[in-house]
Structure 1
Amino acid sequence: MSQEKTILVVGTYDTKDDELNYMCDCIRSQGGNVLSMDVSVLGDPSQPTDYSKHDVAEEGDSSIQAAIDSGDENIAMQIMAQGASLLALRLYHEGKVDGVVVLGGTMGTDLALDVCQALPLGVPKYVVSTVSFSQLLPPERLAADIQMILWAGGLYGLNSVCKSSLSQAAGAVLGAARAVEKPKGDKPLIGMTSFGKTILHYMVTLKPALEERGFEVAVFHATGMGGRAFESLAAEGAFACVMDFATQEVGNHLMGGLSAGADRLTNAGASATPQIVAPACYDLVDLVGWKPLPDQMSEKPAHDHNRLLKSVVLDNEERRAVARALCEKLATAKGPTSFIMPKGGCNEWDRPGADLHDAAGLAAFVEEIEAAMPETVDYVSLDGHINDAQFCETVLRIFDGWVADGTVKR
């Protein structure tokens, strides 16, 4: 494994020159190489950077003068964010950088989120920020594998407190660049969504069965950030086939729960990736377990999964709204799409006799699904439960047919 790695160090070198150069020195002292990128607008660094603010603005088809003339720091920083993202991605594709670390307060962090989202999964990406882990950061703007560290005591100037954060970030990004095992792509990849084995069982059967067929299977935990990672890869066309069975994040976004973004359940379709879809946990909305329930949900039945995660049960009309949202998204798909509807239930908690069983609610959902399902989608109705063997058998029957006719490429 080569130890010759180059880290792109990004920030406003006019106001954070000392801190950024300290990180550059830390990386070099550990045997790494550095390329520096200045995303300032008004000032200049104490010494030239490898990529100047003019280089950055021009990469985004703009200029520093345009940023200044805007008279608005928000607009100016978005100009720099556009250029920095494009430049970072180009440098990566040219093989000039192996990872990135970005430093900033709220302005720099806003830019950092764009830069990290622009880089593919597997490229080490670190953000040192005064607002790391803050509720200011919307989940949909976080790259799937972003790493953050709080820039403690570092709003202005170097000190022993902030050096601890800066040196950790420098060592972490360089170490990650040396150690990362990027996706190989030597086998066709299937993207699957699910939850833990206590609530959904199908992955236990399907993963080995698909691997025996010569495919690699990546299972994504559909609790917000897992869905973001899944969608980002689907948008890249990384999957030979999608098995999106835990579509609960669509309802989460609709009802104010743990969202994976407005584009959930759309990117596989947009890239024409063959997809088999099911509505696991359609009846639940995931919320932060340690927060009080919103007033409109406080009287609903709920399941405390643990101290972090609470799931609230939807009423019949809310289930119908989720059904319509699922169908609207599937209607946009450009590739082959099958939807499997297990009429016996869609998670272990809703079986007859279980705590969250609601036959009338399930019937309302099924009725709305069947009324709103697009004609372009192959609709498959099952009498059984999503955790029954019949579900996996149906998935494999559809999948094997797609492999046989060339819909899914080996």
Structure 2
Amino acid sequence: MSDKTILVVGTYDTKDDELNYMAERITAMGGGVLTMDVSVLGDPSEPCDHSKHAVAEAAGSSIKAAIDSGDENTAMQIMARGASQLAAQLYRDGAFDGVVILGGTMGTDLALDVCQALPMGVPKYVVSTVSFSPIIPPERLSADIQMILWAGGLYGLNSVCKASLSQAAGAVLGAARAVEPPSTDRPIVGMTSLGSSCLKYMKKLKPALEERGYEVAIFHATGMGGMAFESLASQGRFCCVMDFGLSELGNLIAGSVVNSGSQRMLNAGQAGIPQMVAPGCFDLVDFAGWQDIPENYRDRPFHEHNRLIKSSAFNAEERRESAREVAKRLAKAKAPTHFIMPLQGVEEWDKEGDVAHDPEGLAAFTDEARKVMTDPIGYSEVDAHINDQAFADKALEIFDAWVADGTIRKD
């Protein structure tokens, strides 16, 4: 009997040798294997545990329909839907503990959907010819996906590609054995922030919330962190969110690649999770370090944080627009929301004498927030900086009131 079972997914009509090699490596290390074929035209050398017909049926379609479409993209989207549905159901049934998926661009497209269909904490490994490629948009990546380049493996086995395949086999089995999925022992408060040099409220809030019996999960709001935050929110994993680091939403508005997708600030509300929101770092727009600053941002305040990320600033009208966008998203929530406005600043670099100090921009945002944060959105102002104790105290005051009236669960 093996201790953990790995779902091996791929097009067994064209990648039979490579997929079977990974399966053999997993079983050689004492793991179990469950196979899923996502081919359309051909067949595997040996039957898979879950055939291509079962995959297409899980999508409410058939292999015949995929073939008759006459379009490879349409066909593979049928298989992607079916593989995602089937994998999610198999995991709920306890059939496997981790997944490894192999593919070129077609297989990777499918793999990204399958990984997003599985909960956070399920080991997800993708062996791909386009791993880490810029053709993969950030919103397609699940929060805890792992990728390795399928180097030298476009067609057939060789010693180069075996190095990647064997690493993936060992990694996914090791992860399945080692993983500690998110606990449900204590209710979790989800919080967004940035590195403590910019936003510091987490240092004050985390211990205070833990003293109240809550666990605190803090997500680094630089794209992938926000995606993990949104993924868990969509699953209803938080009892409350303190969404105080809004740079990813600002980046989305500005068209920056450093964002976490179009669903930012929507999932908690749709899941019925109470939200506290504040405009931490909402004055800046971030760019990848390798990008040139767009011309319309070149005359703005500028901060180069490191070689990976650099920031320019929103002007007053753009900050008004961002306030309107927050209100628009919060208005869709199915649970209480409360916006906290720190009147003396929203991140460490906007203090007087620093590079992002912009009292006119802050005043414009505050003025717009007063106009648009209307019922049912709660609204409070704090005559303090977001990094001051007074801001944390206000957040805790609202939190305690929500606990007292049953808005936030205690168990």
TM-score between both structures, scaled by the size of structure 1: 0.98
Matched, 1:274 2:293: no
2:237 match: 238
1:100 match: 99
Matched, 1:381 2:381: yes
Matched, 1:168 2:167: yes
Alpha carbons 1:303, 1:310 under 8 Å: kept? yes
Alpha carbons 2:4, 2:96 under 8 Å: kept? yes
2:134 match: 135
| Per-residue Cα deviation, 1:336-368 (whole angstroms, up to 9, x for no partner) | 111000011000100122221000010111111
2:316 match: 316
- In 1, distance between residues paired with 2:100 and 2:224? 21
- In 1, distance between residues paired with 2:408 and 2:375? 21
| Per-residue Cα deviation, 1:308-349 (whole angstroms, up to 9, x for no partner) | 010111111111111111111111111011100001100010
Q: Identity, % of aligned pairs?
A: 65
Change (3 A) 1:284 1:3: farther
- In 2, distance between residues paired with 1:295 and 1:362? 23
- In 2, distance between residues paired with 1:69 and 1:96? 32
- In 2, distance between residues paired with 1:405 and 1:192? 21
- In 2, distance between residues paired with 1:16 and 1:298? 49
Q: Secondary structure at the match of 1:354?
A: coil
Which residue identity does 2:82 align to in structure 1?
A: G
- In 2, distance between residues paired with 1:72 and 1:409? 50
Matches within 5 A, 1:70-85: 70-85=69-84
Matched, 1:49 2:60: no
Matches within 5 A, 1:9-158: 9-158=8-157
- In 1, distance between residues paired with 2:255 and 2:222? 13
- In 2, distance between residues paired with 1:215 and 1:21? 45
Deviation at 1:256, TM superposition (A): 1.5
Matched, 1:214 2:213: yes
Matches within 5 A, 1:336-347: 336-347=336-347
Alpha carbons 1:12, 1:40 under 8 Å: kept? yes
Alpha carbons 1:285, 1:312 under 8 Å: kept? yes
Alpha carbons 1:117, 1:142 under 8 Å: kept? yes
Deviation at 1:294, TM superposition (A): 2.2
Alpha carbons 2:101, 2:127 under 8 Å: kept? yes
Which residue identity does 1:194 align to in structure 2?
A: S
Deviation at 1:3, TM superposition (A): 6.2
Q: Secondary structure at the match of 2:280?
A: coil
Which residue identity does 1:395 align to in structure 2?
A: A
- In 2, distance between residues paired with 1:247 and 1:363? 18
| Per-residue Cα deviation, 1:122-146 (whole angstroms, up to 9, x for no partner) | 0000000000000011101100000
Which residue identity does 2:254 align to in structure 1?
A: M
Which residue identity does 1:288 align to in structure 2?
A: A
Task: Give the alignment's Cα RMSD to 1 decimal.
Answer: 1.0
| Per-residue Cα deviation, 1:180-231 (whole angstroms, up to 9, x for no partner) | 0111210000000001111111100110100010000000000000000000
Alpha carbons 1:272, 1:334 under 8 Å: kept? yes
- In 2, distance between residues paired with 1:295 and 1:357? 21
- In 2, distance between residues paired with 1:244 and 1:408? 15
After superposing on structure 2, the runs of 4+ consecutive aligned residues of structure 1 that deviate more than 4 Å are none
Which residue identity does 2:263 align to in structure 1?
A: D
2:194 match: 195
Unaligned runs of 5+ in 2: none
Matched, 1:406 2:403: no
Alpha carbons 2:301, 2:355 under 8 Å: kept? no
Deviation at 1:259, TM superposition (A): 1.1
- In 2, distance between residues paired with 1:125 and 1:15? 22
Deviation at 1:289, TM superposition (A): 1.3
Deviation at 1:374, TM superposition (A): 3.3
- In 1, distance between residues paired with 2:61 and 2:172? 30
Q: Secondary structure at the match of 1:381?
A: strand
- In 2, distance between residues paired with 1:274 and 1:230? 14
| Per-residue Cα deviation, 1:219-261 (whole angstroms, up to 9, x for no partner) | 0000000000000100111000100000121111010121100
Alpha carbons 1:133, 1:148 under 8 Å: kept? yes
Matches within 5 A, 1:325-340: 325-340=325-340
What is the aligned length? 409
Which residue identity does 1:396 align to in structure 2?
A: L
Change (3 A) 1:374 1:67: farther
- In 2, distance between residues paired with 1:26 and 1:283? 50
Deviation at 1:291, TM superposition (A): 2.2
- In 2, distance between residues paired with 1:295 and 1:156? 44
Alpha carbons 1:193, 1:243 under 8 Å: kept? yes
Q: Secondary structure at the match of 1:323?
A: helix
Alpha carbons 2:342, 2:384 under 8 Å: kept? yes
Alpha carbons 1:330, 1:374 under 8 Å: kept? no
- In 1, distance between residues paired with 2:20 and 2:153? 14
Which residue identity does 2:193 align to in structure 1?
A: S
Deviation at 1:301, TM superposition (A): 2.0
Which residue identity does 1:14 align to in structure 2?
A: D
